[in-house]
Amino acid sequence: MKVLSVASECVPFVKTGGLADVVGALPRVMGQAGVEMRVMLPGYPGVMRAIGKAKTVLEESDLFGGAGRVVAAKAAGIDLLVLDAPHLFERDGSLYTGPGGTDWADNPERFAALSWMAARVAMEGAGKWRPDILHGHDWQAGFAPYYLKKQGSALPTILTIHNIAFHGLAPRDKLSTLRLDPADFVQDGGFEFWGQVDALKAGLVWSDKITTVSPTYARELTRPEFGAGLHGVIEARASDLAGILNGIDTEAWDPTTDPLIAAPFKTPRGKARNKAALRWEFGLPEAGGPLCVVVSRLTEQKGLDLLIEALPALVDQGGQLILLGTGEAKLEAAFRKAAHHENVAVHIGYDEGLSHRLIAGADAILVPSRFEPCGLTQLYALRYGTIPLVSLTGGLADTVIPANPAALAKGVATGIQINPLTSHALALGLLDLCTLYQDKATWARMQRNAMAQPVGWEASAAAYARLYHEVATPA
């Protein structure tokens, strides 16, 4: 079984969020499940540097404003197909925005080009390698199933939704530029969305199967409050929709061998040195309550505006908070102000090593997201015996066993869940966290439960393998 995985980012080459972690992990875990996967990426400068010399396997003289080629290479153990199109990808700024922070005006063309060339690879192959399935990720690969079907290809396609909030919209006047049939610019059965072209919707309509990154998120996407205007499309495709949980790299995130933390450990007791080192690093005093951390983008999606309002409930009980993240200016400012308290520390920015130290040394991690397709930080936290406090949504609901009376009586709880998500409910959850922390026997049991949870890719890889075989051999 050969699968072409098409995405806009992939660890360790380029990353803005969890999408990259998943795309980078899949080739290895699927290889163990008997699936040969190649990842197709845009040729950003960092990607081109990482691959060095590469073999051209496909060329296009007119690729949305210039020439482009697909090159094959292997780097960091991943078989790559890279779209080398300097007029689209060789530029300063981030993946999707320019130096000023606004979206590149030609983002529709940039990722239509990725989809176009992915469709060509699917139909023509890359050298001697020909995929059996095309698996696209998010809106950046949304047009690939469309281009394939419009050119008469029967190659099976799958689209995975990592975050439905981003659609990849383009104005209607770009229809011909994007090589789209105007007849498909319709609301029902097409890619029209409130008068604009919607790349994600194209993928949802024309792909053979749709997946997303947790069972709960799959159900949520059929509801108006979560579906970002596409809930009707997804509900109509419900029989073709599957929710498959993400896993994490359990080698990179292993408390027994992690080189990025102060002291590797095998049991919850071993966290003590990491906690002491963390307090010293951030100048926090000893305290009687739990040391909590946040490792997150600072956005309202993540519920961090509610955490600002609820924070007194934690620090008044002797709890502490260290936050690592960057994002919306108003939230950055709010947390900088909160850090005037002696038991609150803030690091604006991102640092991979620091994220490991925070999760290893903390008692608890706070993830009060308004919606969360899967979430990875709570999985990292479970692996390190760091108790997650999460909202009851998406993958957070699927991966954390709440400390309700039944779960505590059976000794299976791994965290705390907040529902409904309001600042008041979050404050009550923080008070519950502080109370549980004072019950040392119960807290230690929760930590042991957390560290025993399966958070790797084994079950998910098997689910993807079954899906690939199902879509490749339809009844």
Cα–Cα distance for residue pair 210/240, rounded to 1 Å? 6
Closest CA to 241 of 206, 204, 202: 204
Return the SS3 of 93: coil
Q: Find the distance separating the first CA and the last CA of the chain, reported in whole Å.
A: 17
The amino acid sitting at 89 is: F
> What phi, psi does 258 have (nearest 5°)?
-60, 115
Q: Return all residues near 57 (Cβ < 8 A) that are at least 6 apart.
A: 70, 71, 72, 81, 121, 126, 127
Complete edge-to-edge strand list for the sheet that includes strand 196-198: 169-171, 196-198, 192-193
Taking the CA atoms of residue 458, residue 77, residue 15 and residue 67 in that order, the dihedral angle to the nearest 10 degrees is -130
C-alpha 124 chain-centroid distance: 31
Cα–Cα distance for residue pair 129/80, rounded to 1 Å? 12
Closest CA to 395 of 248, 225, 213: 213
Strand ranges (DSSP E) for 392-445?
416-418
Tell me: is residue 15 an annotated ligand-binding position: yes
Cα–Cα distance for residue pair 291/300, rounded to 1 Å? 23
**Full DSSP string of 254-300:** -TTT-TTSSS--SSGGGHHHHHHHHHHHHTPPP-SS-EEEEEEEESG
Q: 105 in the Ramachandran plot: left (φ > 0), alpha (ψ -120 to 50) or beta?
A: alpha
Residues making up the binding site: 15
Residues making up the binding site for ADP-alpha-D-glucose: 15
